[in-house]
Amino acid sequence: MLINFKRSRRIVDIPLVRIRPCKTQVRRKYNPELLKELAISIKQNGILQPLTVRKVSSAEYELISGERRLRAAAMCGKSKVPCIVISCTDSQAIIYSLTENLQRSEINIFEEAQGITEIMSHYHMSKKETARKLGKRPSMIDGRLSILDFTPEERELIIKAHLSERHAKALLIFDDPTDRRIVLSEIIEKRMNVSQTEKFIQEYIEQIKIEHFQKLRRKAVIKDMKIIENTLNKALDTINTTGISALTDQSENEQYIEYTVRIIKPAPIPPSPYRNIPSEQKMA
């Protein structure tokens, strides 16, 4: 942590009713079963790690870290919780809260990314400045923010399947939500690790390229067939303009298209009545 806070050296028991949640708490969901287990532990053993708060008025404190402990304490009927009071500004409190959560396994990657976004937006900080404040690399901030492109439904699937950030980033290669959903479902169903996921995505992309090429090829063939059909029709029109009748028939199957042209023969010319008459009689 790169910011120094003024901490009290003593632990203070503060009533739950005097503690309000942090305004920018990044966590959105809490596992009810894990909370219940924590409540049982607190009831039997007490709170082993004090909560961190800051005083915001003469009668009220704002929670900086320890919301799970606060909720579990309320569940098991505690009226007070042990706290360490720190002195800090609003921005320092938010950064401290986020940093505290980043060090815990319970927060998911989307909650973390959302928390970083809220800090940047609220305090108009750049990615580089945010990275410095949190003690992280700028590339890590970029990576976290990129996963916010997932829809709420996709996020839910990724969280429930316990997929890692690397799984999520690999899926961002797809702009088409349909492709992304198909691949995500396959990854979850087959329980792929990161290497298997990256390999499957590469194979899927190659298959898309092949299908796209075949589709373009079919379009080209259809276009060529149209040209041939138009050429044949023009030839038949030319034949018909000469007074010769031409009939056409067309059939096709999976292998070929067959054109049949029937040209009706002209009627034979009747023999001349003068064909066998001697020349002298023709002249007479």
The predicted pLDDT at position 3 comes to: 44
Give the pLDDT score at 248.
74
**Domains contained in the chain, CATH given:** 6-106 (3.90.1530.30)
Distance (Å, whole) CA 42 – CA 53: 19
- Looking at residue 254, the DSSP 8-state letter turns out to be S
Total-model pTM? 0.51
User: What are the distances in angstroms from CA 155 to CA 34, 101, 269?
Assistant: 21, 19, 86
Which DSSP state fits 184? H
Q: For residue 89, what are the contacts with CB-CB under 8 A and spacing of at least 6?
A: none
- According to DSSP, residue 149 is labeled G
Q: What is the pLDDT along the chain (284 residues), one digit of tens a residue?
A: 344 455 555 789 999 999 988 765 655 567 788 888 889 999 988 998 899 898 988 889 999 888 889 999 999 999 999 999 988 877 777 777 777 666 555 678 888 888 788 778 777 888 888 888 777 788 888 888 888 889 989 999 998 898 988 999 999 999 888 899 999 999 999 999 999 999 999 999 988 878 766 666 666 566 666 777 777 777 777 777 777 777 777 777 777 777 787 777 766 666 666 555 565 555 55
Q: How far apart are CA 251 and CA 264, in angstroms?
A: 20
Residue burial 52-87, b: 16+ Cβ < 10 Å; e: rest: bbbeeeeeebbbbbbbbbbbbbbbeebeebbbbbbe
If DSSP codes are grouped into helix, strand and coil, which group holds residue 183? Answer: helix
Token pair of 261, please?
A: 């042209």
CA 226/CA 108 separation, integer angstroms: 57
Residue 85 β-bridge partners: 53
CB atoms within 10 A of CB 107: 17
Supply the angle between the helices 177-190 and 194-241 in degrees, to the nearest 10: 140
pLDDT of 29 reads 67
pLDDT at residue 195, as a whole number: 93
C-alpha 259/C-alpha 246 separation (Å) is: 12
- On the CB side of 212, CA atoms within 13 Å amount to 6
Per the structure block, which two tokens stand in for 273? 């009545």
